[in-house]
Amino acid sequence: MGFKPSEKEEEYILRQEWDRRKKVEQEKQSHLAKAERERLKKLHHMKCCKCGMEMISLDFKGITVDRCTGCEGLYLDKGELEAILNKDKSVIDRVFKAFRD
């Protein structure tokens, strides 16, 4: 006569199988998400968000900023505006002078 597991043993085995499958699925989703982020980065990296043209990096007072070759928009990464302002406080006045005139 064969061994028959108790309900608690069956529940434990099913829970273990569930946890294993869940972990495998999470790893699969994580891998797919990473692959999608890489694909999007290759597609959009150094492209202008306004017109889609290529962007080039320029040095402004030792800080690298990005400028669009199409619409000539200027784009700053996180912390770059603060770094520029810390180097030269009069920059903000020159930048926004056009809006006051």
Look up the domain containing 37 and give its range. 1-45
For the record, the structure tokens of 99 come out as: 């809006």
| Alpha-carbon Rg for the chain in angstroms | 27
> Same domain, yes or no, for 41 and 63?
no
Is residue 27 assigned to a domain?
A: yes
Quote the pLDDT of residue 22. 96
> Same domain, yes or no, for 6 and 26?
yes
Please tell me the pTM assigned to this model.
0.51
> Same domain, yes or no, for 9 and 41?
yes
Per-residue b/e over 63-79, b at no fewer than 16 CB within 10 Å?
A: bebbebeeeeeeeeeee
What string of pLDDT tens digits covers the 101 residues of the chain?
Answer: 567 777 888 899 999 999 999 999 999 999 999 999 899 888 888 999 889 899 999 988 788 899 999 999 999 999 888 888 887 777 667 766 666 65
> Same domain, yes or no, for 3 and 35?
yes
> Same domain, yes or no, for 5 and 27?
yes
Quote the pLDDT of residue 95. 67
Is residue 95 assigned to a domain?
A: yes
Structural domain count of the chain:
2
- Cα separation, 19 vs 16, in Å, equals 5
Quote the pLDDT of residue 33. 92
Is residue 29 assigned to a domain?
A: yes
> Same domain, yes or no, for 63 and 87?
yes
Is residue 50 assigned to a domain?
A: no
